[in-house]
Amino acid sequence: MNIEERFRSDAIRELYRYWLSLRADRAAPARAQVDPMAMRRTLPHLGLFDVENDPRRYRVRIMGTEVVAWYGCDVTGRYLDEIDLGPDPAPVFAILDHVVATMTPAHMTGDYVKQDGRQIRYERLVLPLSSNGKETNMLLGASIRSEAGA
């Protein structure tokens, strides 16, 4: 099954197709190519992350309003290793590291319970961005809240 066949959300599909159109024959497009207004349906669900090395960390540059609403707070400017990603965030970081290393998209669905007891269910797409075409320096993603049983 190819990655697009796994998508449940139209917003995720829209983001992926837009990223593919920007990528063309390169491994990943640059951040400068991304026009948020071209992804109106996805915009409230978007996240943009700086990739830092030595040590590897992910800083939230932008977090969409819908994600802020269902996550419970705005994490813009914070590092992902400083926020509540559930009791075992290691798989999340493994996926992000894989996207960075391979410059390939990752799609996932899942759920976890935050420290405040709220259950977070989501569909997520993470896409590499590269300013030099050789290494991932940013990640573009979308997180869509899933309902129970979805």
Domain edges within the chain: 3-145
**Looking at the predicted structure, is the pLDDT value of residue 102 above 50?**
yes
**Looking at the predicted structure, is the pLDDT value of residue 150 above 50?**
no
What's the pLDDT tens digit per position in 68-98?
888 788 999 999 999 877 777 888 899 999 9
What's the pLDDT tens digit per position in 114-149?
777 777 788 899 999 999 999 999 999 999 887 654
What's the pLDDT tens digit per position in 41-67?
899 999 999 999 999 999 999 999 998
Rank 24-28, 90-94, 103-107 by mean pLDDT and report only the highest.
Answer: 103-107
Which letter, b or e, does each residue of 84-114 get, where b requires 16 or more Cβ atoms within 10 Å of its Cβ? bbeeeeeebeeebeebbeebebbbeeeebee
Quick one: which of 26, 27, 39, 9 has its CA closest to 125?
9
3-state secondary structure of 1: coil
Q: What per-residue confidence (pLDDT) applies to 51? A: 98
Domain 3-145 annotated CATH 3.90.1580.10? no
How crowded is residue 20: how many other Cβ atoms within 10 Å of its Cβ?
13
Q: Is 30 left (phi over 0), alpha (psi -120 to 50) or beta?
A: beta
**Looking at the predicted structure, is the pLDDT value of residue 37 above 70?**
yes
Peptide bond into 44 cis (omega under 30): no
Quick one: which of 98, 27, 88, 19 has its CA closest to 58?
98
Q: What per-residue confidence (pLDDT) applies to 1? A: 66
